[in-house]
Amino acid sequence: MRILILADEFFAAREQALLLRLEVGLADEGVRVLHAIPSAARSYAPGELVSRVVVYNPPRWQFAVGPTARRLLRDATNITEEPGHGLDIIHAMGGSSWTLAAHLAREARIPVVFEVWRSGLSERARAIARDSSVQSLFISPDPSIERELRLASLPSAMIRLIPWGVHPSLDPRPPRAPDRPFSAMLVGTGRDSNAFARVLDALASIVRAYPLMVFCDADAARRASVFHRAKKLDILKHISLIAELEGRRDLLLAGDLLLQPEARGEQRSVTLDAMAHGMVVVAAADPKVSYLVDGLSAICVSPDAPDAWSSAIRKLLDTPALADALAASALQFVRQQRRAYDQVRAVLEAYASLTGTLAKVGAASA
């Protein structure tokens, strides 16, 4: 089976870890994976050890979608190891890739899988589902998104619930050295500037009482005007901006706390990775994200409570035993419910349902 994973720029940059886990898992099961990545995100392409990479220029106008699809299909076919053996499935990752993915599927006359990674995409999914020229399947990583798709009248046969998975750490997290400041990783898109402002307001009093450094994604900081807010609060020296922080998991997972201010119904593998590596997650309560379970996998903060962020963070810094217990609980949660192997197995079964082949998944962990 040959799969073309088509990622848009956001997914290519922010979800490198998720894409790599999926591609490695599929390769383990004998699937040939091609990874199509936008030219602007070329530096985020995975190594070609498990997948071949083809670069494309996203079409800026509707009339350019068809030619782009044909060019990408030609390039993908040219780099396959067996000339004449075409692709079997397109897997679109990121909403900006959906239109191009549908055109690719029509050109190649093969099925297409759409990853519905956030709330609010159900109307677009319904429009595609009604197009009889495209054989479509929609993967929902969360039950809330699955419900949205069903409410949009998508046929049940077109929907698969496949939660994202991670690799839980097998090694105990080393204790923080007494002379090292606490570190908090502030993540999100920055599109909800009020949500970021609430967290910064809480941090303004905390950094004066505790040794705490805050690292924030540079693009999110720009969108949310973090610099101006931090300057006004006189906490600039406590904040460091990191380009593509969410994509740099090695750096991010070295932090003590993960702060997620936005509740936008978005699935973010960075939060699952934080849980899987012993970080403590403090997040805005989001009923559309099922892995945020207050007291079990994270501390979920109500956006309506003015002092909620300050209270939650102070409690964790004041009570290391509480932080340790929550980290252990979150790690157990992902071990039981969010394994990468389970995601790969379910994705492979979804592919098999479209191609009419029998999915055989090995016992080795993906």
CA dihedral 220, 310, 227, 245 (to 10 degrees): -30
Domain that holds residue 81: 2-165+339-355
How many domains, in total, are found in the chain? 2
What average pLDDT score do residues 348-357 get? Answer: 90
Look at residue 365 and tell me whether its pLDDT is greater than 70: no
pLDDT reported for residue 363 = 40
Model confidence pLDDT, tens digit, residues 223-269: 999 999 999 999 999 999 999 899 889 999 999 999 999 999 999 99
Model confidence pLDDT, tens digit, residues 286-336: 999 999 999 999 999 998 777 999 999 999 999 999 999 999 999 999 999
pLDDT reported for residue 173 = 84
Residue 120 belongs to a domain: yes
Residue 257 belongs to a domain: yes
Look at residue 176 and tell me whether its pLDDT is greater than 90: no
In this structure, the answer to whether residues 11 and 154 fall within a common structural domain is: yes
Mean of pLDDT over the chain: 91
pTM here is 0.92
Residue 362 belongs to a domain: no
In this structure, the answer to whether residues 281 and 136 fall within a common structural domain is: no
What average pLDDT score do residues 208-212 get? Answer: 93
In this structure, the answer to whether residues 13 and 138 fall within a common structural domain is: yes
In this structure, the answer to whether residues 293 and 346 fall within a common structural domain is: no
Look at residue 361 and tell me whether its pLDDT is greater than 90: no
User: For the CA atoms of the chain, what is the radius of gyration?
Assistant: 21
What average pLDDT score do residues 75-97 get? Answer: 81
pLDDT reported for residue 52 = 85
pLDDT reported for residue 51 = 76
Q: Is 329 exposed, middle or buried (0-12, 13-18, 19+ CB in 10 A)?
A: middle
Q: Which sign, positive or negative, has the C-alpha torsion 44, 45, 46, 49? A: negative
Residue 227 belongs to a domain: yes
pLDDT reported for residue 356 = 81
Look at residue 179 and tell me whether its pLDDT is greater than 60: yes
Instruction: List strand residue ranges (DSSP E) for the chain, in order.
Output: 2-7, 32-38, 51-56, 89-93, 112-115, 136-140, 159-161, 182-186, 212-217, 239-242, 257-260, 280-284, 299-301
In this structure, the answer to whether residues 217 and 231 fall within a common structural domain is: yes
In this structure, the answer to whether residues 311 and 208 fall within a common structural domain is: yes
In this structure, the answer to whether residues 197 and 128 fall within a common structural domain is: no
Sheet holding 280-284, edge to edge: 239-242, 212-217, 182-186, 257-260, 280-284, 299-301
Q: How confident is residue 167, by pLDDT bands cut at 50, 70 and 90?
A: very high
Chain centroid to Cα 276, Å, comes to 14
The CATH number covering residue 316 comes to 3.40.50.2000
Model confidence pLDDT, tens digit, residues 5-44: 999 998 998 899 999 999 999 999 999 899 999 998 888 7
Residue 363 belongs to a domain: no
In this structure, the answer to whether residues 142 and 37 fall within a common structural domain is: yes
In this structure, the answer to whether residues 221 and 295 fall within a common structural domain is: yes
